């Protein structure tokens, strides 16, 4: 069993549909873990801000607003600055400009797919399909795919040798991540290497310095960014992935790689909860694109931090103000919606839309 997750150990997504999700850049749709004051003023200047992160063991209690010092060392490749920005409701305000390194600053990437049907859970990653279950992608999982998905067409391994069909080259990875997956790449476990994207793809985010509550909730695509510098991506396009008879495996931290966005998360499994809280509240794991903090789901006793959350998975307390708690990783989402306004480009054509495969490219990873 992988830490901080709910597993179905009975043999009951990412690259096929995964690449499509990555090609669609924009936060207007949803994604993870077991684990306001309004500023309407315009800042016409660009200021240099805080440094690129601190160590993981700090107490992160900055109220509602994003605190750049909560990013861990190595998560960001540039100093955080501020610049004028326009939010989704037309509000002119000031946003932090945050540029991530493109790889987790505190953990390795992978493994993803098993190599044989005898491999154990420790040799591979996990899979989630939005049903609430997190599967170990071990040999038994591969063997039992026809039963799990009630379809005898699933055959991800060689019947004679037990070798699992894995996309082990960049050509295979990209071919299997298309909406129209060629027959030779169907029935594959899809994984991509960071080597295909130069070791990682840097991403830049504009996030309000002061969160601005929205009149009505805003639909989530890309959710935000983790404290270790990784994108909290939109829901993985599971239907597209499964329809091509592919499994786009995640590593144990809920992340995988695609050629467009590099490494990114689709679920929070406990790896990113580094912002410990002095009062014992669940740890901060990142920030949503509206500027509110995203925290783990379970406290140290394994209980829900709040008995009741709103539709966005948000709650309010005296120390943190409004904040989110991540969904269980098997839900294939981090938060339910945005409580606040986000930078306008994320609504029109911004990063990480989590919809189905489109005509412009492969399915999102």
Residues 16-34 have pLDDT tens digits of 333 443 333 333 333 333 4
Q: What percent of the chain has pLDDT over 70?
A: 78
Question: Confidence band (pLDDT; 50, 70, 90) for 259?
Answer: confident
CA nearest 291: which of 93, 20, 44?
Answer: 93
- Please give the backbone phi and psi of residue 62, each rounded to the nearest 5 degrees, phi first: -105, 20
pLDDT at 167 exceeding the cut of 90: yes
Q: What is the mean pLDDT of residues 4-13?
A: 37
Burial of 232 (0-12, 13-18, 19+ CB in 10 A): buried
Position 122 scores a pLDDT of 97
Specify whether the CB–CB gap between 329 and 210 falls below 8 A. Answer: no
CA nearest 230: which of 104, 124, 113?
Answer: 104
Specify whether the CB–CB gap between 30 and 224 falls below 8 A. Answer: no
Tokens describing residue 55: 């160590």
Which of 23-37, 49-63, 114-128, 184-198 has the least mean pLDDT? Answer: 23-37
Which of 90-99, 160-169, 261-270, 271-280 has the least mean pLDDT? Answer: 271-280
pLDDT at 352 exceeding the cut of 60: no
Cα separation of 232 and 335, whole Å? Answer: 10
C-alpha 173: how far from chain center: 20
- Rg (C-alpha) for the chain, rounded Å, is 20
Cα separation of 346 and 207, whole Å? Answer: 10
pLDDT at 54 exceeding the cut of 70: no
Is the bond into 241 cis (omega within 30 degrees of 0)? no
Of 278 and 239, which is predicted with more confidence?
A: 239
Which residues are registered as beta bridge partners of 288? 224
pLDDT at 88 exceeding the cut of 50: yes
Highest mean pLDDT among 18-32, 166-180, 232-246, 262-276: 232-246
SS (H, E, C) 161-200: CCEECECCCHHHHHHHCCCCCCHHHCCEECCCCHHHHCCC
Which of 26-35, 58-67, 148-157, 336-345 has the least mean pLDDT? Answer: 26-35
| Pairing of the two strands 134-136 and 126-128 | antiparallel
Read off the pTM.
Answer: 0.80
pLDDT at 97 exceeding the cut of 50: yes
Specify whether the CB–CB gap between 39 and 207 falls below 8 A. Answer: no
Mean pLDDT for the chain? 82
Position 286 scores a pLDDT of 97
pLDDT at 228 exceeding the cut of 90: yes
pLDDT at 357 exceeding the cut of 70: no
Cα separation of 332 and 338, whole Å? Answer: 16
- Using left for φ > 0, alpha for ψ between -120 and 50, and beta otherwise, residue 300 falls in alpha
- Please give the backbone phi and psi of residue 23, each rounded to the nearest 5 degrees, phi first: -75, -25
Question: Confidence band (pLDDT; 50, 70, 90) for 63?
Answer: low
Cα separation of 175 and 155, whole Å? Answer: 18
Cα separation of 353 and 129, whole Å? Answer: 17
Tokens describing residue 141: 């999982």
Question: Confidence band (pLDDT; 50, 70, 90) for 348?
Answer: low
């Amino acid at each position: 069993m992988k830490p901080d997750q709910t597993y179905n150990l009975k043999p009951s997504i990412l690259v096929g549909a995964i690449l499509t999700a990555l090609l669609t850049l924009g936060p207007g749709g949803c994604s993870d873990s077991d684990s306001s004051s309004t500023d309407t003023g315009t800042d016409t200047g660009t200021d240099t801000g805080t440094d690129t992160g601190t160590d993981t063991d700090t107490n992160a209690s900055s109220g509602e607003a994003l605190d750049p010092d909560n990013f861990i060392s190595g998560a960001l490749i540039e100093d955080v600055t501020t610049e004028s920005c326009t939010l989704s409701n037309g509000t002119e305000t000031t946003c932090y400009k945050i540029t991530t390194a493109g790889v987790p600053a505190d953990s390795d990437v992978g493994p993803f797919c098993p190599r044989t049907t005898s491999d154990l859970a420790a040799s591979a990653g996990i899979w989630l399909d939005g049903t609430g279950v997190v599967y170990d992608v071990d040999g038994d999982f591969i063997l039992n795919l026809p039963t799990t998905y009630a379809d005898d067409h699933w055959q991800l391994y060689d019947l004679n040798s037990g070798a699992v069909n894995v996309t082990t080259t960049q050509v295979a990875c990209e071919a299997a991540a298309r909406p129209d997956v060629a027959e030779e790449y169907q029935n594959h476990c899809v994984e991509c290497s960071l080597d295909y994207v130069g070791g990682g793809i840097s991403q830049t985010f504009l996030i309000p310095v002061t969160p601005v509550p929205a009149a009505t909730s805003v639909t989530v695509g890309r959710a935000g960014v983790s404290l270790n510098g990784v994108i909290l991506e939109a829901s993985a396009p599971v239907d597209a992935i499964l329809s091509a008879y592919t499994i786009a495996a995640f590593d144990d931290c809920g992340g995988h790689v695609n050629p467009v966005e590099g490494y990114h998360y689709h679920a929070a499994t406990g790896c990113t909860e580094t912002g410990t809280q002095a009062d014992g509240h669940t740890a901060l794991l990142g920030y949503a694109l509206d500027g509110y903090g995203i925290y783990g789901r379970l406290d140290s006793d394994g209980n829900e931090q709040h008995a009741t959350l709103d539709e966005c998975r948000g709650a309010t307390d005296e120390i943190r103000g409004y904040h989110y708690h991540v969904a269980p990783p098997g839900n294939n989402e981090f938060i339910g919606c945005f409580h606040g306004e986000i930078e306008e480009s994320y609504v029109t054509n911004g990063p990480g839309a989590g919809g189905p495969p489109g005509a412009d490219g492969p399915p999102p990873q």
